[in-house]
Structure 1
Amino acid sequence: MNAELSSIQRRARIHAALGDPARLAIVDTLTLGDASPGEIARSLDLPTNLVAHHLKVLQEAGVLVRTRSEGDRRRTYLRLEPAALASLTSPPLPDVTRVVFVCTHNSARSQLAAALWAQRTSIPATSAGTQPADRVHPRAVAVAGRHGLLINATGTAHVADVVHDTDLIVAVCDNAHEDLTGGVRPRLHWSVPAPADTDAAFEATFAELAARVDRLAPALTPDPGPTPAQRTGANHD
């Protein structure tokens, strides 16, 4: 009975935290990608002190956690705790025709994310880097192989050679998110830490990317393309 009461109290705390419209808007912002407090304030046009208050309430309820940026160590990013929000659905992103996963070297996280995406959905995907390496990390190739996925060990690319205006860009590392400030800007950011050079670390990164891919995929609506009438130029008006 005590365990049941504890569970009810935790759920009640989460529901209470989500009862404020601004806090629910913050959760919507973080459902598909991570963001810094300043990015949330700008996105929702809220004062930073009010955002700080709402984030404190959400964090105390176990809805989100903070992580330190691997790029600018003064910056923190916020991410949702999926288990706390299992009953929430992701806001839809309609008419996405291709997804491009981007990290710095295009040698591990972005490659794994694209391979996972190809396994789980029919929407095309590829990957790129802001400073691509010559080869994919051998442990990334190995962990993909252990899970039945194939990665081209020499298939790295630069964002400038890959990204189109209509692509959904997902930055899967902090440095890529912070570097893409020009014409190519990520629409989503996944603050996935760089794996240490061990098989266990790459397995953990693979698992986190798989969970995030599984959360994003149902939120995308494939573009159905032109109807037969549109392809033939028929007009029935």
Structure 2
Amino acid sequence: MSIESMGVEWKSLEERARVHAALGDVARLAIVDALGVGDAAPGELGALLGMPTNLVAHHLKVLQDAGLVVRGRSEGDHRRTYVRLVPEALVSVGSRLLNEVPRVVFVCTHNSARSQLAAAIWSRRSRVPAASAGTQPAERVHPRAVKVARRRGLDPAAWRTAQVHDVVKPDDLVIAVCDIAYETLPADARPRVHWSVPDPAPADTDAAFEAAYDEIAGRIDRLEPLVSQSGAEGTRA
């Protein structure tokens, strides 16, 4: 083995060791476990885990330095930041199951792109039924979302926009795929999971919509094995 190759291997070992060290604390492991399902603001993590804000900030810095989490500013309330897990740095983040889920409902503001794509991708991956809705539904689905769906083998022919209160039921697993919907939904439709997926509409390019598709598909691939179905069995598409 050459010195050069040993240097590369040693660097890789050091990076892996930083990840293991960051996870070698119960509080940080709990934070990673919480972020394995969806994104959260630091204050939400503190409330969920019963930690003071200064302790949350310390643990988040350690996780961020290890490359396990990143922060992003909310597209709704710009004073807020959300923390998200970096899946490439951690292949598996735990095995907490979301038990007895009768249906998954993906929600965004206009129900014209991200939530429609999410419901369609989910339906192709899981036996658990899926639907989508918006807090301020647009008149139609965004043409670029339709274009991306068809290019990825989805059928958007039956897609229609809908209002959250006309769709969401008490037992649904509500997943907000945009910051604005997450921050404005009332308590009776409050999302259990939040994915801070950037809105592709302002850029209005195929690349932006493709990026949103890839982001959502990756998150669904990580969440779907953790969701167990209740009720009648379906068939996987």
Q: TM-score, normalised by structure 1?
A: 0.92
Secondary structure at the counterpart of residue 133 of structure 2: strand
Q: Are positions 1:45 and 2:45 aligned together?
A: no
Report the equivalent of 1:203: 210
Using the TM superposition, give the Cα deviation of residue 153 of structure 1 relative to its aligned residue in structure 2, in angstroms.
6.6
The amino acid across from 2:174 in the alignment is: I
Using the TM superposition, give the Cα deviation of residue 179 of structure 1 relative to its aligned residue in structure 2, in angstroms.
0.6
Kept in 2, the 8 Å contact 1:101–1:114? The answer is yes
Rounded Cα–Cα distance in structure 2 between residues aligned with 1:150 and 1:88: 32
Q: Unpaired segments of 5 or more residues in structure 2?
A: 1-5
Structure 1 runs, 4 residues or longer, greater than 3 Å off? 87-90
Kept in 1, the 8 Å contact 2:170–2:188? The answer is no
Using the TM superposition, give the Cα deviation of residue 94 of structure 1 relative to its aligned residue in structure 2, in angstroms.
1.1
Using the TM superposition, give the Cα deviation of residue 154 of structure 1 relative to its aligned residue in structure 2, in angstroms.
5.6
Kept in 1, the 8 Å contact 2:102–2:231? The answer is no
Kept in 2, the 8 Å contact 1:136–1:153? The answer is no
Rounded Cα–Cα distance in structure 2 between residues aligned with 1:208 and 1:68: 17
Q: Specify whether residues 59 and 44 from structure 1 end up closer, same or farther in structure 2 by C-alpha distance, changes over 3 A only.
A: same
Q: Unpaired segments of 5 or more residues in structure 1?
A: 227-237
Rounded Cα–Cα distance in structure 2 between residues aligned with 1:183 and 1:88: 29
Q: Are positions 1:162 and 2:167 aligned together?
A: yes
Using the TM superposition, give the Cα deviation of residue 182 of structure 1 relative to its aligned residue in structure 2, in angstroms.
2.6
Report the equivalent of 1:220: 227
Q: How many residues get paired?
A: 226
Secondary structure at the counterpart of residue 9 of structure 2: helix
The amino acid across from 2:134 in the alignment is: G
Rounded Cα–Cα distance in structure 2 between residues aligned with 1:199 and 1:224: 38
Kept in 2, the 8 Å contact 1:169–1:188? The answer is yes
Q: Name the Cα RMSD after superposition.
A: 1.3
Report the equivalent of 2:62: 57
Q: Alpha-carbon deviations, 1:60-93, whole Å to 9, x = none?
A: 0000000010001111000000011114334211
1:16-95 equivalent positions in 2, closer than 5 A: 16-95=21-100
Q: Are positions 1:130 and 2:135 aligned together?
A: yes
Rounded Cα–Cα distance in structure 2 between residues aligned with 1:208 and 1:138: 19
Rounded Cα–Cα distance in structure 2 between residues aligned with 1:87 and 1:175: 28
The amino acid across from 1:31 in the alignment is: G
Q: TM-score, normalised by structure 2?
A: 0.92
Report the equivalent of 1:233: none
Secondary structure at the counterpart of residue 188 of structure 2: coil
Rounded Cα–Cα distance in structure 2 between residues aligned with 1:137 and 1:153: 13
Kept in 1, the 8 Å contact 2:109–2:136? The answer is yes
Kept in 2, the 8 Å contact 1:171–1:189? The answer is yes
Mean CA deviation greater in 47-56 or 90-99 = 90-99
